Amino acid sequence: MIVSNLFWSRLVLKNASQVKRKINERLFSHSSFLKAANILDGKQLSRKMQNSVAEEVERLKRMDEKYHPSLAIVQVGKREDSNVYVRMKERAAKKIGIAYKHYAFPDSISQSTLLREVRKLNNDQSVHGILVQLPLPRHLNEKTVTESILAEKDVDGFGAVNIGMLAKNTSTPIHVPCTPMGVMELLHQYSIPIAGKNAVILGRSDIVGNPVSYLLRQENATVTVCHSHTENLPEQIAKADILVAALGKPEFVRGEWLKPGAVVIDVGINAIHHNGKRTLVGDVHYPSVSQVAGYITPVPGGVGPMTVAMLMCNTVKAAELLRNKSILRKVSINEIALKDPVPSDIEITKSQELKKITTVAKELGIHETEIETYGHYKAKVDMKLYERLKHRNDGHYIVVSGITPTPFGEGKSTVVAGLVQAIGHLGKLGIACVRQPSQGPTFGVKGGAAGGGYAQFVPMDDFNLHMTGDIHAVTAANNLLVAALETRMFHESTQSDAALIRRLLPLKDGRRVIPKGLLQRWNKICNNLGHDPSELENVSQELLEKFVRLNIDPETITSNRVLDVNDRFLREIELGLACTEKGRSRKTSFDISVASECMSILALSNDLKDMRHRLTNMVIANDKKGDPVTAGDLGVAGAMAVLLKDAIKPNLMQTLEGTPVLVHAGPFANISIGASSTIADKVGLKLAGTESFENADKAGYVVTEAGFASDMGMEKFFNIKCRSSGLKPSAVVLVATVKALKLHGGGPELKPGAPLPDEYLLENLDLVRRGCANMVQHIRNSQKFNVPVVIAINSFRTDTNKEYEIIRQEALDAGAVDAIPSYQFSKGGQGAIGLAEAVMKACSTPNEGGFKFLYDTKAPIEEKITTIAKEMYGAKGVEFSPLAERRMKDFKRQGYERLPICMAKTQYSLSHDPKLLNVPKDFVVPIRDMRLNAGAGFIYPLTAKIQTIPGLPTAPAYLNINLTDDGEILGLS
C-alpha cells in the first residue's frame, strides 16, 4: 500500500497525550460500544471486483478482436517493497486479461532518458495505462516524471490534469487516484452513509489525503483535513463519523480518541519489528480502535487490495476510452453565412473561421501521434494510422466523374466538396479524397482548383500552392533519376571497364563491396550468368563488365526533367553544351511535374514498400540490345524513395464547412490516371469504415474524383487504380451542366472574349434534349463496370426547372438511379442534400454481380486498346501506326504485355478529335505511339500529340495574383 511520509510534530503528540485521558473516560463510559468492529474486507471485495472486470474484458474481447487492454509499469531501481507491489500488479493484470509490460531501469538512469521512455509509451497506441512505481531515486523529480504521462494514460490518477479536475466541482477526471477510489468503493459496497457525516482525513498528500477529501465532499460529507500543524488532533478525531488515516505513522491513532461506532479506513501500511519479527501495521492501533469503531479496515487486507483492483479498473477504462475515441467519428459542421450574390471564392474563404487541423483529426478518431502538423490548418497523416485501422470494413467508395468537358467547366471539384458537406448535414461521415493541383495551371489559366463558392477545399491558398511540398519532392526524385541517367551515360563513355569496376565495385578491407542501391542489379546479373551472388572475389570479367556497363541507347530515353511551372520554351531543348561535358549534348524536353511517372507511382502505390518496388521498376530507356534499363539498374531507386518518404503520406485538410479532406498526389489526367492516391483512398475508407461489432449502416462515405469524363478518368480509375488497389466502388456520380449539354446538343461555338450567346442564357429545351445523348453515353460507360450511377446537375442561375426535368428523365430512362440539381456553389452543403440522399441510396442498392473490369489484363495489348476504344468511346475500330506496332512487339518481348492500358487522348471528345462533340459515330481511333510506365504499372498509347508541359496564355492568371503588405494572398480562385 502507498505509504504517506508525513512528519507529525511533537506538538501533536503532546496534545494527544494531554487529552487522551479525558476522551478515554468519556468514550469508554459507554460500555455498549465495547464490541468488535465490523471488518471492511478489502481483500474479498477486491477479488469480487477483479472477477467482474475480468468478465467485462472477456466480453469486450469477444465483441472486438482488436480490444487488448495493456498496462505498462515503469520501475527504476530494485527496491524490495517496489518489487512486491509490481509483482502484485502483474498477477492482478494477468488474472484479469490485461497485457502487462514491465519496464525496469537502473537507479542510474538520467531524468531526460526516463522522460524519453515515458514519451515513447505515451505515443504507443498499444499501451493504455502507464504507472511509474514510486518512490523514485532522489536524483529524479517525481512530479516531473509523473506529470509527463498523458492524462488519459495516467491510470494512477496522480497527474495534475486528473487531480485538478477531481478538485473542481464542475469537472470529472479521466482517472480517479486508485487508493482514494478504493476507499470510496469500500464505503459504497458496505452501504455506509456519507452525506451529512463528519469525515476527518489524517494526511493531505495528493496521493491519498487530498483526493479522498474531494471525493467525500462530492458526496456531501463535511470534511476536515488534518496534518502535521493541526492542533488538538485527538479532539478533531473524536468528531469523526468517518476517519481516513493516511499519515504513515505506525499505530498512531488510539481507540480512546475515537467516537464510538465511527467508520475507520486505515490507509497506512508500516513495517515494525516486534520480538525479532517483522510485522505490518496500519496508522491506527488496531487492538484498541477495533473495540470502538463500527467498521474498520484491516492491515493488510483492507485498502491495499482495493488499490490494485482500482488500478485494474482504471486500466480497462483507459483501454475503453482509447477504443471509443478511435471509433468515434462525428464531424461537426461549421456554419456558413450565405450571401446573395455569391462573393468571390477568396472572399468567402477569408470570412470563414476554420477548424484547427488537430480538431479535424480528433473528430475523425485520429490520434495526435498519427499526424504531423504543417501550421494550423494542414497535416500529414502517418502511415501507421492505416495499419491501426486496416482491420475495419471499408466505408462506401464514390467516384465523381462527368460528361465530356467543355470550356464552361462542369465543376466536379465543387460537387465533391458540396457532396461531402451535405453528407455531414445528414449525420454521416463524408471524406473527400482529391488531387493536389499543379501550380502550372494555377498561375496559367485556372487561378486555382479548390472548388468554388460555398463548396471549397480550404485554406485555398495552401491547397493551390505548395501544400506540404509533395510536388516538389516528386520533382526532386524525378530529376535525380534523369541526372543519374545522364551521368551514367557520360561516365561509361569516358572511362574504361577497369575504371568503372574500380568505382562501382570498390574494395574495402581487401574485399569488393556492392553498393546497396545496386544489389538488385548484381543479383539479377549473377542469376542470369549462373554465378553465386555471395561470391565477390572469383568473378568473371564478363560478369563485371555486364554489371558496370548499362550501354544505354540515347534514342530510347523516355524520362524528361520536370518542373511545376507552365513554360512552353522547355518543350524542346538541348543540354550538355558546356565544355565539361566533352561534346556529349542531347536534345530533350521538360515535362510538368505532375506528368512525371514518379507522380503516377505516388498515386498508385499501396504503401512505402510498394512505392520503393515501383520506383525500382521504372524503365527509363533501353540498352543497345533493346532490353529495358530501370532505375534499379542505375542504383538510384533507394535515394528516390528517400526523397518521397514524406510525400507518400496523405495531407489532411478540410472543406469550408469543416468536413475532412485528404489531398494527395496529382497525376496528369491526359497521360496518367488523373486521380488522387490509392493510399489516401484506403486511409479514408478505413476512417469511414466500421468495426466488426458495429452495424453496417454506420459506415461513412469517401468521395473521390476522376479527371475529365467517364471515357478518360473514370475508365482509368476502374481499370487501373481499382485493379491495383483492390478497392471496389459503390457508386458513380456524373457531373453535368445545362450549358455543357446545350453545347453538345449543337449550341453555337464559343469564341474567346466574345459575349455568351443567348442559347446558353435562355431556356432551350431542344438543345438540352439533344445534348443529353452525351450524358447517356457516359451513363452507359459507367454501367459497363456494373456500378450504379447518379447524375449531379451542377446548377447555375440561368438554368430552368424544365431543363432539369428533361435531364432527369433522360438519365432515368438510361438507367441512372436519379438526376438531382445541386446548389452547393450558392448554398454549401445544404444545397447538395438532395444529391447526397440520392448517392446514399445508390450505395445501399444491392448490386447484383458486383463491380467488374472492362477487360482482362492477360489479353493482348491491341485487344485491350480496341476494347476501350469501342466500349468507352464508341469507335468503329483502332488503327495502329508502324511505330505503335513496333512498341507493342517490344513491350511483349520485354514482358510488359499484361499491364493495363492508360489511353492518352483529348478530353474534349469521346473520340480522338476534340472537334467531334456529343456522341461521334463511325470513327477510327489512331494509335500514333506507345509509352511504358512500368513502375506505375501501365502502358499509355497516344492517339495524338499530348503536350506534357503547358504554355502560358496571353493574359495568364498570375497577372491577378499578388501579396498584400501583411502577407495575405490575393487573386486565387
Cell 570479367 -> residue: 541
pLDDT of the residue at 10? 33
pLDDT of the residue at 17? 40
pLDDT > 70 in the chain, percent: 96
- Selection from 176, 108, 214 nearest residue 317 by Cα: 176
Annotation says 133 is catalytic: yes
The residue that leads in pLDDT, 969 or 447, is 969
pLDDT of the residue at 447? 63
| pLDDT 10s digits, 569-593 | 999 999 999 999 888 899 999 999 9
CA distance 510 to 513: 9
Question: Which of these is catalytic: 156, 266, 394, 564?
Answer: 156
Question: Which of these is catalytic: 50, 75, 89, 412?
Answer: 89
pLDDT of the residue at 35? 63
pLDDT of the residue at 30? 38
pLDDT of the residue at 969? 86
| pLDDT 10s digits, 112-130 | 999 999 999 999 989 999 9
- Selection from 731, 772, 720, 778 nearest residue 901 by Cα: 720
Quick one: cell of 946?
499530348
pLDDT at 42 over 50: yes
SS3 content of the chain, % helix, strand, coil (to 5): 45, 15, 40
pLDDT-derived band at 274 (thresholds 50, 70, 90) equals confident
CATH for 10-314 is 3.40.50.720
pLDDT at 9 over 90: no
CA distance 234 to 256: 9
pLDDT at 319 over 80: yes
- Selection from 638, 592, 591, 634 nearest residue 614 by Cα: 638
Q: Are strands 507-508 and 455-458 parallel, antiparallel or unpaired?
A: unpaired
CA distance 123 to 115: 12
The residue that leads in pLDDT, 969 or 738, is 738
CA distance 424 to 660: 10
Quick one: cell of 960?
491577378
| pLDDT 10s digits, 176-203 | 999 999 999 999 999 999 999 999 999 9
Q: How far is CA 463 from the centre of its chain?
A: 18
* Same topology between domain 10-314 and domain 471-643: no
- Selection from 741, 822, 811 nearest residue 783 by Cα: 811
- Selection from 190, 151, 186 nearest residue 172 by Cα: 151
pLDDT at 23 over 70: no
Average pLDDT in the chain: 92
Q: Report the greatest alpha carbon distance in the chain.
A: 120
CATH for 345-468+646-844 is 3.40.50.300
Class of domain 471-643: alpha beta
pLDDT at 845 over 90: no
The residue that leads in pLDDT, 461 or 938, is 938
Annotation says 156 is catalytic: yes
CA distance 284 to 280: 12
| pLDDT 10s digits, 883-907 | 999 999 999 999 999 999 999 999 9
Strand partners, 940: 931
Cell 478497392 -> residue: 727
| pLDDT 10s digits, 593-638 | 999 999 999 999 999 999 999 999 999 999 999 999 999 999 999 9
Going from N- to C-terminal start, the domains of the chain cover: 10-314, 345-468+646-844, 471-643, 861-942
| pLDDT 10s digits, 354-406 | 999 999 999 999 988 899 999 999 999 999 999 999 999 999 999 999 999 99
pLDDT of the residue at 245? 96
pLDDT of the residue at 687? 96
Q: Looking at this protein, which amino acid is placed at residue 780?
A: R
pLDDT-derived band at 805 (thresholds 50, 70, 90) equals very high
Contacts of 765 (CB under 8 A, 6+ apart): 802, 803, 806
pLDDT of the residue at 26? 40
Annotation says 89 is catalytic: yes
Q: Are strands 277-281 and 270-274 parallel, antiparallel or unpaired?
A: antiparallel
- Say how many C-beta atoms besides its own lie within 10 A of residue 661's C-beta: 30
pLDDT-derived band at 946 (thresholds 50, 70, 90) equals confident
From residue 409, alpha-carbon distances to 402, 444, 451, 543, 847 in Å are 10, 16, 11, 58, 31
Beta carbons of 667 and 674 less than 8 angstroms apart: yes
pLDDT > 90 in the chain, percent: 81
Class of domain 861-942: alpha beta
pLDDT at 929 over 90: yes
| pLDDT 10s digits, 422-434 | 999 999 999 999 9
| pLDDT 10s digits, 864-884 | 999 999 999 999 999 999 999
CA distance 512 to 643: 28
Question: Which of these is catalytic: 50, 75, 133, 352?
Answer: 133
Of 6-15, 101-110, 111-120, 953-962, give the lowest mean pLDDT range.
Answer: 6-15
CA distance 448 to 438: 9
